[in-house]
Structures are given as C-alpha cells and as structure tokens.
Amino acid sequence: MLPAIAWKANRVVMIDQRKLPLKEIYLEYRTHGGVARAIKTMVIRGAPAIGVAAAYGVALGVLAWKSGENIDRAFERITRRLQGTRPTARNLFWALERMRRTFEANRNLTLARLKRRMLDEARRIEVEDLATNEAIGRNGRDLIPDGATVLTHCNAGELATAGYGTAVGVIRAAHEQGKKIRVFSDETRPFLQGARLTCWELDRRGINVVLITDNMAGWFMRKGEIQVVIVGADRIARNGDTANKIGTYTVAVLAKEHGIPFYVAAPMSTVDPGLETGAEIPIEERDPGEVRKIGGRFITLPHIPVRNPAFDVTPAKYIAGIITEKGIFRTPYCFGA
C-alpha cells in the first residue's frame, strides 16, 4: 500500500478514501485545481493529510507557471482555490501559510529555482508529518495499559496523515511495545471513517479491532469494557478546546461520566494560535445527501430536512491530555510560541 498521498514525477498520487475498504484505487493529479477537488470531495481527508495535499497542490500550481507570469497574482489564485476546500482543518491553512512564507522568501529567484524551492518545501511538510506522528506515538504509548480496550472515533490513522497516524499512531506504538490491545472503532456516521478506514488500517496492521455503532460507546463504558479513549483533532484552540469529527464531544462527555481518560493526539500544526477558545472554530456543514443516503441509497424520505455538521468542539475540561510531538499538554494549556 502506498501512503495516503505521494509525490511521483510531477504528479500527486492519492488513494481514493471514498472507495475503501472495498476497492483500492489510486488517483493522480497534475493541477492544483484537481487537488482542491480531491480535498473537497474527500478523496483525501484527515487534517494532516489535507495539509500535505494542499502543499503539493501549491507546488503543482507553481510548477505550471510560464516565464512572464504575474507570479504574485497567480500565487493568490492558487492559495484561494485551496483555502476554499475545507474550513475546519487547521493543517490546511498552516500548510498554505508555510508555502506562502517560502514563496515570499524566494520570489526573486529565477523561475526554475523558485519552483524547486516550492516543491522542496511541500516535500518537507510531508516528511516532517511522518516523523511528527512517530513522536506522538512514542509520547503517548505509555497512556495505554497492557490489556486495555481503547475507543477511537473517526480515522486518525495513516490515511489521515503522511503516515503512521496520530490517535492510531499512539495505539500502534503501544502495540509495537508488545502490549495486548483491543480497539473499539466507532463507525462514525455519516461518512463512516471508522467502519471503512480505521478498521481497514488496524486489521492490516494486525491490531485487534471491533466495530461498534456510534450509539454503543456509552453502554460499553458503563459495562467497564473501555479503559481509555484516544481521538485525533482538526483544530485546537489556545485553551485546549478541540474540534474533531462530529460525535467526538458525545464520546468525551460519556468518558467523563464513567471516569475514563479521554485523550486527543495531534501535531502542533493543528493548534491554532489565532483562536482563544473553541467557540471561534469554523465548523464545516456538508452535503445533506451524506446523511440521507447510505451506499447511495436513501434511508429516509428525500424531502426530510437534514443537518450535517462535519465536526463538533469538545471543551478542554473533558480532555485528560493533548498528546503532541512536543509532549503531553494538560490543563491549563500553554502550547508556547
């Protein structure tokens, strides 16, 4: 299996996550517009993977420039297109800001050298994300006791990152320590990232995974079958409030009620230094069709109104710790510069 995203001979290759686990299809993109569509339509998803895709999208846009191009105007056009794809994932904007800094620092070079620098920076973002996730795994693995059942929600694994995963990375690192671990994966309605992606990844890695529907978590907690919860994050405010896949908040409240530690695992690039609290995090509202249908078939009357927020915000008071590559942060949160 290739990683979720890879750069190959001036093309970006992605596994089509909409088709998993039934089909393993790889799609190639040669333009920044193609990458923007891939992000918007969830060919690639998961905050860190979206960040890597956006960086490669910018690189593809810049590589297409001809001499005599108004590069400032062209750069704005490319970033605006990519910015408009998914509003909640902080890593998208973080990666675009990094690409902008590289552009500004190198815009007076020859076009050929500027192109090289932009591609190098996108590659660095990918390589660093993998190393970051491995560090998150090392920092978090001791939080999982031997013999524990871990609940996770959505997919914060290798498909959602440049590799290894964040929440799933912590689980993998504990598994690699030789601990016997069982994972309960919430199915994660409506896009089914848990059922389709997390189960697929863990099964391939030889980690014991059990699929549950989203409404079962409370019951298993009450029965003492879950010892720890670990999820990823799409955006973290300065006070630790965390946006993640819709349903995460419910799981966090349930965990608190049952005295089960609830951890978030995420790279520092998911922390938004511009936001004081989670109330400021923009929440993406997706197509109602995702709720009305399963597998392309209506499960309700087509005219019934639907709400489909893709994320919710878990207040910091429910979070036992945020596991990052720099260590584990706890309340009161101070993520530093």
- Strands 242-245 and 262-265, by their bridges, are unpaired
Contact 95/124 with Cβ under 8 angstroms? Answer: no
Based on CB atoms, which residue is closest to ligand MRU, 62 or 310? 310
Based on CB atoms, which residue is closest to ligand MRU, 201 or 234? 234
Q: Which residue ranges make up the site for ligand MRU (CB under 6 A)?
A: 45-48, 154, 156, 160-161, 166, 193, 232-234, 244-245, 310
Q: How many CA atoms lie within 13 A of 30 on its CB side?
A: 3
| Residue showing the smallest CB distance to ligand MRU in the complex | 232
- Taking the complex as a whole, the smallest distance from the CB of residue 18 to ligand MRU amounts, in Å, to 11
Characterise 188 by phi-psi region: left (phi > 0), alpha (psi -120 to 50), beta (else): left
Based on CB atoms, which residue is closest to ligand MRU, 245 or 292? 245
Give the C-alpha separation, 129 to 4, whole Å: 12
- Taking the complex as a whole, the smallest distance from the CB of residue 189 to ligand MRU amounts, in Å, to 12
- Taking the complex as a whole, the smallest distance from the CB of residue 273 to ligand MRU amounts, in Å, to 18
- One of 129, 186, 234, 241 is an active-site residue; which one? 234
Give the C-alpha separation, 73 to 224, whole Å: 58
Phi, psi of 101 (to 5 degrees): -60, -40
- Taking the complex as a whole, the smallest distance from the CB of residue 188 to ligand MRU amounts, in Å, to 8
Active site residue 129: no
DSSP 197-247: IIHHHHHHTT-EEEEE-GGGHHHHHHTT---EEEE--SEE-TTS-EEEETT
What residues are labeled active site? 234
